[in-house]
Amino acid sequence: MPVSPSVVIGVDSSTQSAKAVAVDAATGRVLGLGRAPHTVTGTGGARESDPEEWWTALVTAVRAAVRDAGVDPGSVTGIAVAGQQHGLVALGADHRPLRPALLWNDTRSAPQAAALADRFGGPKSWLERTGSVPVASMTAAKWQWLREHEPHHAEATAAVRLPHDLLTERLSGEAVTDPGDASGTCWYAPADGAYDPALLDLLGLTPAQLPTVAPTGATRAGGLTAAAAEALGLPRTVAVAAGTGDNMAAAVGLGLGAAGLLDHPVVSLGTSGTVFAATRGRPADPALAGFAATDGTRLPLGCTLNCTLAVDRFAALLGLDREDALPGGETVVLPYLDGERTPDLPAASGLLTGLRHTTDPRAILGAAYEGAAFTVLRALDGLLAACGLDPADPAVRTRPLRLIGGGARGRTWTDTVRRLSGRPLVVPAATELVALGAAALAAGASTGEDPVALATAWGTGAGETLPALARDEETWERIEGVLGTAAAGLLS
C-alpha cells in the first residue's frame, strides 16, 4: 500500500465561501479541494455574516478536501487559515459572538472613520502610527460604530477578533493573530510590531481583549483542540499556524517576500479589486493601506469595493452572460454599487452615462468592466507612485502585472485589463492562491521552513504570460473625466 505524503491544509475563508486545499507539503501539488458557502446579509451599506457559519463552512470544506485527496487523515501535519480582512467579531464572556460580524465592505462606519481620521493630528499622524488612514473598511471604524450605535454590545464585548483570528482560535484554542492581518485594524503599529496604546485608549479597548500578535503567520499557535480534531476528523498533532489575512496569504502563494517584487505588482479581481506589492519601504499615502506582510515586511495595498460582483450584477440586470460584452465606446459606467473605498466615496452609488438610442446592451456591460478595471488600475498607479515609481514612465508602464482572483479566469476581464493597462499579464496557473499561501504557512508551522521559499519552490506563482495590448488612452481619459465630475458631487 503506497505511503501517503505529508499533507498540509490551507483554508481561504473569504466573504462568500470557505475553500480548503489539501496539499502535498513536499511538492505543493493540490491533492484535494473542498468548499462551502457563506451567507452575507444587509442592505443600505450593511454587510454582515454569522461567524458560527464560518466555522461550519471551514469544517465542511476541510473534510471535503481530505476526502477528495484520498489520503489518510493521519498524514495531515499542518493547517492555516487566511481570512477576509477587517471584519469585526465581538465575543461575549462565553466567547461566542454577540452579534453578526461587521464585514470589510460594510460602509455604515464611514462617519466614524472620518471622525477618527481627524484625531491624533490627522491623516499624516495615522500614517506614521499605523500605516493607514481610517476608512469605513478598517476594523477600528467598525468598532467605533458599534460603540456608538450598539453600546450594549460594545460594553458586553470580552474579546475582539478578526475573521481569521476567530477560526485560528477555534482550531488551536489560542488567541493569536499575525502582523499582516493585525495591520488592517488601525490599532496596530507595524513599525513597532505591537498594538498602539494611545489608539487602544481612544477606542476604549484593552490588550486583554485582543489576540497576541505572533512574529509571523507561519508561527505555530499550537495543535488542534480535542473539539476541533473531532470536528475535522484529524489528529490533535496537526500544527495550527497563526495564519493571516487573505491578501497577505495571496502574496505568500505568489512567492512575494522580503526581497520585494515591484517588477511584478499584483492585481486581484474578486468581490473587491486589490493591488499590492511586496517592498521593504514604507510608502505613506492616505489612499493606500500600509499593511505589513505576514513576515513583518511591507505589503502596501489599494482596494476597491466594486469588482467582479458589481459587474456580474450589471450582466444580470441586462439579461446577458458575463462574457457577452463589447467595448463601452462613449458609454461610461462607474459601478460603485456598494459605495467605494478607492476613491474614498463610501456613500456613492453607481453611475451610467453616455447612452444613445443605438447603444448596444453589450456595450453597457463592457463599460461596467471598464469602469471596474479602471478603478483598480488607477489604484495601482497610486501604489506605484507611493513606492517611488512614475506610473507614466514607459519602463514602469510596460512591466508585467500578475493577475489573480476569480476575474483572472474570465476572458473579458483579462482583455479589459490588458487594453486599459497596456501591460503584459502573468496569469498564474494556480486557481486558489490564497488557500495555497495558507498551505505554505501551515507547512512552515509544521516544519519551521520559510513559507515564501516553500511557495516559490512549489511554483504556485508560475503561469501563462499574455502579451501587452496597446493602451486604450481614449477610454481611460473618458472614464477619468466622468469620475472627476461625479466625485465633485454627483456620486455622494
Domain boundaries, the chain: 7-247
DSSP codes of every residue in 296-352: SSEEEEEEES-SHHHHHHHHHHHT--TT-----TT-EEE--BTBBTTTTBTT---EE
Positive or negative CA dihedral for 44, 153, 292, 111? positive
CA distances from 385 to 124, 257, 298, 382, 393 (A): 17, 20, 15, 5, 11
Per DSSP, the three-state class of 49 is strand
Is-contact 297 334, C-beta < 8 A? no
Active site residue 94: no
Over its length of 492 residues, how does the chain's per-residue pLDDT go in tens digits? 345 679 999 999 999 999 999 999 999 999 999 999 999 999 989 999 999 999 999 999 999 999 999 999 999 999 999 999 999 999 999 999 999 999 999 999 999 999 999 998 899 999 999 999 999 999 999 999 999 999 999 999 999 999 999 999 999 999 999 999 999 999 999 989 999 999 999 999 999 999 999 999 999 999 999 999 999 999 999 999 999 999 999 999 998 865 444 557 899 998 889 999 888 777 777 888 889 888 768 888 898 999 999 999 999 999 999 999 999 999 999 999 988 888 888 889 999 999 999 999 999 999 999 999 999 999 999 988 888 888 888 888 888 899 998 899 999 999 999 999 999 999 999 889 999 999 999 999 999 999 999 999 999 988 989 999 999 999 999 999 999 888 776 444
pLDDT of residue 106: 93
What is the Cα–Cα distance from 339 to 346, expressed in whole angstroms? Answer: 4
Is-contact 300 334, C-beta < 8 A? no
Question: One of 106, 181, 246, 450 is an active-site residue; which one?
Answer: 246
Is-contact 455 437, C-beta < 8 A? yes
pLDDT of residue 360: 97
pLDDT of residue 1: 38
pTM over 0.85: yes
pLDDT of residue 3: 54
H or E element that contains 279: none
pLDDT of residue 295: 79
- CATH top-level class for 7-247? alpha beta
Of 295, 135, 137, 408, residue with least CA distance to 278: 295
Question: For 111, phi and psi rounded to 5 degrees?
Answer: -65, -40
Positive or negative CA dihedral for 208, 85, 12, 386? negative
- Determine the angle formed by the axes of helices 110-117 and 139-149, rounding to 10 degrees: 110
